Structure 1
Amino acid sequence: MRDATMAGAGAERGITRRRMLYAAVSMASGLALAGLAAAALRPGGFDGWDAAILLLFVVTVPWGVIGFWNAAIFLWLRFTAADAVAAVAPFARPSRPAGRPAGRTAILMCVRNEDPAGAFGALSRLMADLAQGGHRDQFHAFVLSDTDRPDIAAAEEALAAAIAARHPVTYRRRTANEGFKAGNIRDFCLRWGGEYAFMVTLDTDSIMSADAIRRLVGIMEANPRFGIVQTLVTGMPSTSLFARLFQFGMRLGMRSYTLGSAAWQADCGPYWGHNAIIRVAPFTRHCHIPRLSGRPPFGGDVLSHDQIEAALMRRAGWEVRVLPEEGGSWEANPPTLVEFVRRDLRWCLGNMQYVRLVGMPGLLPGSRFHLWLAMLMFFGAPAWTAFFAVLAWRSATQPEGAAIFDPVLGPALLAIVLVFVFAPKFATAIDVLLHRDERRSFGGAPRFLAGFAAEFVFSLLLFPITTLAHTLFMLGLPFRRRAGWTGQARADHAVPWAVALRTLWRQTLAGAVGTAVFLAGSWEAWAWGQLGLAGLLLAVPFAVATSVPRLGRWAARVGFCRLPEETAPPPELVAAGLAALAPAAGR
């Protein structure tokens, strides 16, 4: 069963050829970048320091190369295919409409120590919408709580009881957070899973439309070998300036990256842990994540469960697919830089635990690739940090007038790297600007271009801040630095200067030291170094400024970094009462 797909053997051979071609062009591009970097480092000879710089650079290359070719595939499909989504995901366009679901579906919402009002309200509206479709008996919601704060638990129980009086909802709270979120869902599978064909997983900040869930159920019933179907999750409109900038860029990047990658990932796609549908029986049977031997942080329960569960599902012969099309699936993004970094560090630890799991017997090559890629996303951080540190040292110790990089090849290499890194966003921007309806959905070309330029600067500032945070966190892992599954502060709030300084003083110090070292070399070296140092030096005011509620509300009012949902608000988000949609309601 492992090698069979719904597409048939011929199509499977086509997918294999696509994967081989993708791997070949990616490797060739990576080698070409490495060769260009080696040539750019040759002024004055090639010594051990140059070799170190080249090696560190090579470690950072794969993510950019992968993103570039996913973006290229996206543009090729958009220009050559009548329906780009159908070209890579035929199941998204069924030949006949789905009928009444044959099996029952559980809607799972996992919560822990967060304000329950928003999440429970969204769940109540979802269940009401599902009931209006005439399928009330086919859907049952479960609120799976790991909350250990008595005040929040009491609020959860009261809200759950109120919803259960109107809709089929079950509330369960565990007294121990064993296994974190994966353990929470496994407990559901063992207690109630036998009663349901599918389960839709939601996070506290998730909103899904009833139509989107019905569509997922229809896809699963029409494709009996599908084990997981992941939706393309998009950020909800926000009145946080930080979130608006971040999710604008994320929308652009994920749209092209997901569609492009679906062309070669096919039946070995990603699972992101929420806003997805899962076939319960094989998940229960095959996707239990073992508790790792040894003590935390590398031992114990696995924090980042999703990619491992996808790998285990695929190992058992079930397909894991992504639906590479926006619509009806949203999440909230962290409202401040401080919250964003805190969430990232938890992901960092969870992904590093994959070191213990990537060698599990029987995993398919595509699954191992996903795990390595997830680790590489964070392994690249210390490589970038060391890369800049060595460059700073070299600039300060070089003989006067000597250059580290060739004056022509060096800038060319930098330009190419920036194109590769930002290729997914560039690709979507090109697509938006070339299609009138897309331009209008983002508020028109001038507004879109202004947001794109602002997000580009935002990303350049954010990257070194998060890179150093990941590096320092990873350096602390051997000393048992930990991060757990804790509640997040999702509501808009201002970050006080003292909190920003306490959280980001290391970035500020590193920026100051790096600036001094580069200046010891030359003004030219300092100018180039600002690409990595500006974000560090400005980390504290950056965190404070992007958290100011007044600035965020102004951005929403004028349509700065506007999302399509703000131009044509979906009823699910209108019902959620998002403040960012108020300007749209007034038009």
Structure 2
Amino acid sequence: MSAVSSSRGQSGAPSPAGIARRRLVFAMLAGLSFAGLAVLMFAAMRRGGVLPVEGVMLALFLVTLPWLVIGFWNAAIGLLLMRFSRDPAVAVNPMLADDVRDTPLETSTAILVCLRNEEIDGVALSVETMLEGLLREGALAHFHLYLLSDSSWPEIIADEERLARSLQARWGGDVGVTYRRRENNHAFKSGNISDFCQRWGQGHDFALVLDADSFMEAPAILRLVRLMQRHERVGILQSLVVGLPTMSAFARIFQFGMRLGMRSYTLGSAWWQGDCGPYWGHNALLRLKPFTEHCHLPELGGKGPLSGPILSHDQVEAVMMRRAGYEVRVLPVEGGSFEQNPPDLVEFIRRDLRWCHGNMQYLKLLAMKGLRPVSRMQLVLAILMFVGSPAWVAFMVLSAGLFLFYDDYLGQFDPVLGATLFASVMTMVFAPKFATVADILVTRERRQAFGGALRIVAGVAGEVVISMLLAPVMAIAHTVFLAKLALGRGGTWSAQARQLHTVPYASAVRRLWPQTLFGAAGLAWFADVSALAVLPALPVVLGPLLAIPFTRITASPFWGRVALASGLWRIPEETEPASDLLRLGLPALPSAEPQALYGEAAYAEAPAAE
């Protein structure tokens, strides 16, 4: 299964020939699946003769396939590794075979906390807890904390300055604490980190990049540092980030689904990506010298929303680091690395559209010289992640339109092949989740960590239904946003609202009226043209139709408490929370002790993000 050569480099990785064989196997599997689904769709259409518009539909269908096929095979390979490999993480990242727990620290690491108009109490608790953990481990002298602010709200700036003074007073004798605020947040987070590199980067070996909602336990941080210290050709080391326990019903459902799909997907992707792994922009360790020298992002020429600073910087920095000859690795191991997920659908869409905007800029980077083939493909896939949405929406609209011109259009489509195609697509869609669920259910310890078999099955059933309803909601959001980009209108990169809150009807309507209109029109159309067609189309129209009430309900603190009390969508950190998580005062952990340190009211008084 591993296809690993006995010849290994400094990082303990498979030889280039071994990685090449893995990639060839993966490419063959993905290519054959892609071709098989394309042939199946064409054969199903042929029954009544392929119309010109159906040729367009076939092309649109093909655009949606790459992420589907790759996700399926990542999950399948990940499941095989989980069930048949002695240590799945070592099988895809052999540097994890090193026992580095007692390795002395000989390097200096900068902890970069990147801020932009963030509620400061949560940041303060996370930073304090991380510093206390490093102090307990006897490692604090090897770190330096940097609070890198791009904030513009006066109340937030005042809280940041107060936090910096407090940290310097308490920790100044044990660790360096530096606070810096840029007056101009040019290039956003990448510009923030670039400014650090130019000012202070030469004084440190590594940098641990954290977002305002990031939290890492001390052992997880030290593992990254010790591994990178030992393996000198590793330029970026990305931890596996999971969601923090939350009271938000929406976030609970989302991160439960992500948790189920993450392990198999990440193992499978790491198996063939190898040294061209992902960088997600936070909870990751950078080797500063090559990062500063080789990962400086260019300004994109031209006019319009795709020009100027590169917004989705992480993947570009990863491919540039690999181009420079350094490895980019992921540690596919859960535990100790966390982030806070958006508390409601509106915030979730806003975050997704920021990524969409940034990923579309990759169109101008595909011709970048010197990239590895896998790196170039990663940029293409990042684009297709969002381009697939308008392709899917257009496919559905054209399908509906055919009923207008052909009374018996369903009769022109082969029912057996159509059902086979539908079953194949649905299997591939949910394969990452079901692969991890299968592994959890047969492992007693993991089964108990997620709340037991009954809660797992009930949670999976609910999450699958909700994810099917939300898929068209997100596809419509992407489509509308991409249409705006095509017309020269970009989005805004403002601060996220991370705290649990009720979403006003006005805000939900303003954000989700296109989805509601699509759902109402679709339901009326299919009900009028063919009652039979309503059944398979029900998730497609029902999700958008109910987007506004769904947003209101899943953002409600009341329903969040109900979801928590039911035990549904539980994650292992709720079953046995680590002491450091309890220190954060998370409301989802009953034994936690909430603390307010540095200006609880400031964020509530700050302007609401739109």
Partner of residue 84, structure 2: 80
* DSSP 3-state at the match of 1:321: strand
**C-alpha displacement of 1:553:** 1.2
Matched, 1:28 2:32: yes
Matched, 1:497 2:505: yes
User: Structure 1 residues 199-208 or 499-508, which shifts more?
Assistant: 499-508
Match of 1:422 among 412, 420, 430: 430
Partner of residue 114, structure 1: 118
Q: Is the 8 A contact 1:108 1:201 kept in 2?
A: yes
User: Structure 1 residues 539-548 or 308-317, which shifts more?
Assistant: 539-548
5 Å matches for 1:548-567? 548-567=556-575
Matched, 1:71 2:111: no
* DSSP 3-state at the match of 1:580: coil
Match of 2:295 among 278, 282, 287: 287
* DSSP 3-state at the match of 2:296: coil
* DSSP 3-state at the match of 2:46: coil
**C-alpha displacement of 1:480:** 2.3
What is the count of residue pairs matched by the alignment? Answer: 583
Q: Supply the distance in 1 between the matched residues of 2:528 and 2:84 (Cα, whole angstroms).
A: 53
* DSSP 3-state at the match of 2:47: coil
CA gap 1:401/1:325 in 2 versus in 1, 3 angstroms: closer
5 Å matches for 1:410-489? 410-489=418-497
Q: Is the 8 A contact 1:393 1:517 kept in 2?
A: no
Match of 1:18 among 1, 19, 22: 22
* DSSP 3-state at the match of 1:58: helix
Match of 1:311 among 311, 319, 344: 319
Match of 1:541 among 543, 546, 549: 549
Q: Supply the distance in 1 between the matched residues of 2:136 and 2:276 (Cα, whole angstroms).
A: 35
1:79-121 C-alpha deviation (Å, 9 max, x unpaired): 2111111111111121454422111000001010111110122
**C-alpha displacement of 1:523:** 0.8
Partner of residue 533, structure 2: 525
* DSSP 3-state at the match of 1:201: strand
CA gap 1:114/1:501 in 2 versus in 1, 3 angstroms: same
Matched, 1:572 2:580: yes
Matched, 1:362 2:366: no
1:140-173 C-alpha deviation (Å, 9 max, x unpaired): 1101000011111001100111011122211100
* DSSP 3-state at the match of 2:170: coil
Partner of residue 331, structure 1: 339
Q: Is the 8 A contact 1:120 1:160 kept in 2?
A: no
Partner of residue 93, structure 2: 89
Amino acid paired to 1:428? T
* DSSP 3-state at the match of 1:166: helix
Amino acid paired to 1:48? P
Partner of residue 60, structure 1: 64
Q: Supply the distance in 2 between the matched residues of 1:141 and 1:306 (Cα, whole angstroms).
A: 21
User: Structure 1 residues 84-93 or 188-197, which shifts more?
Assistant: 84-93
**C-alpha displacement of 1:400:** 3.6
Match of 1:163 among 140, 146, 167: 167
Partner of residue 204, structure 1: 212
**C-alpha displacement of 1:402:** 4.5
CA gap 1:170/1:401 in 2 versus in 1, 3 angstroms: closer
* DSSP 3-state at the match of 1:582: coil
Amino acid paired to 1:109? V
Amino acid paired to 1:124? E
* DSSP 3-state at the match of 1:43: helix
CA RMSD of aligned residues (A): 1.6
5 Å matches for 1:141-180? 141-167=145-171, 168-180=176-188
Partner of residue 392, structure 1: 400
Partner of residue 139, structure 1: 143
**C-alpha displacement of 1:469:** 0.5
Matched, 1:350 2:358: yes
Q: Is the 8 A contact 1:303 1:485 kept in 2?
A: no
CA gap 1:83/1:4 in 2 versus in 1, 3 angstroms: closer
* DSSP 3-state at the match of 2:147: strand
Partner of residue 276, structure 1: 284
User: Structure 1 residues 96-105 or 116-125, which shifts more?
Assistant: 96-105
Q: Supply the distance in 1 between the matched residues of 2:145 and 2:11 (Cα, whole angstroms).
A: 33
1:335-375 C-alpha deviation (Å, 9 max, x unpaired): 00010111111110000001111210001111111111111
Amino acid paired to 1:245? I
Amino acid paired to 1:181? K
- After the TM superposition, which segments of 4 or more aligned residues of structure 1 sit over 6 Å from their partners? none
CA gap 1:468/1:10 in 2 versus in 1, 3 angstroms: closer
Partner of residue 597, structure 2: none
**C-alpha displacement of 1:544:** 1.0
CA gap 1:111/1:8 in 2 versus in 1, 3 angstroms: closer
Q: Is the 8 A contact 1:461 1:535 kept in 2?
A: yes
Partner of residue 598, structure 2: none
* DSSP 3-state at the match of 1:109: strand
Amino acid paired to 1:235? G
Q: Is the 8 A contact 1:30 1:61 kept in 2?
A: yes
Q: Supply the distance in 1 between the matched residues of 2:450 and 2:510 (Cα, whole angstroms).
A: 37
Q: Is the 8 A contact 1:5 1:12 kept in 2?
A: no
Partner of residue 190, structure 2: 182
Match of 2:305 among 293, 297, 307: 297
Amino acid paired to 1:73? I
Q: Supply the distance in 2 between the matched residues of 1:185 and 1:584 (Cα, whole angstroms).
A: 33
Amino acid paired to 1:93? A
* DSSP 3-state at the match of 1:110: strand
**C-alpha displacement of 1:579:** 0.7
Q: Supply the distance in 1 between the matched residues of 2:429 and 2:569 (Cα, whole angstroms).
A: 20
CA gap 1:108/1:551 in 2 versus in 1, 3 angstroms: same
**C-alpha displacement of 1:404:** 4.8
* DSSP 3-state at the match of 1:64: helix
**C-alpha displacement of 1:199:** 0.4
Q: Is the 8 A contact 1:566 1:584 kept in 2?
A: no
Unaligned runs of 5+ in 2: 1-6, 594-610
Amino acid paired to 1:33? L
1:175-229 C-alpha deviation (Å, 9 max, x unpaired): 0011110000000000000010000000010000111110000100110000000
Partner of residue 224, structure 1: 232
CA gap 1:268/1:443 in 2 versus in 1, 3 angstroms: same
Q: Is the 8 A contact 1:393 1:518 kept in 2?
A: no
Q: Is the 8 A contact 1:243 1:333 kept in 2?
A: yes
**C-alpha displacement of 1:9:** 9.4
Unaligned runs of 5+ in 1: none
* DSSP 3-state at the match of 1:172: strand
Matched, 1:240 2:248: yes
**C-alpha displacement of 1:446:** 0.1
Q: Supply the distance in 1 between the matched residues of 2:8 and 2:354 (Cα, whole angstroms).
A: 36
Partner of residue 43, structure 1: 47
**C-alpha displacement of 1:399:** 2.1
Amino acid paired to 2:427? V
**C-alpha displacement of 1:296:** 3.6
Amino acid paired to 1:179? A
Amino acid paired to 2:237? V
Q: Normalization by structure 2: what TM-score?
A: 0.93
Q: Is the 8 A contact 2:584 2:592 kept in 1?
A: no
CA gap 1:34/1:436 in 2 versus in 1, 3 angstroms: same
Amino acid paired to 2:110? A
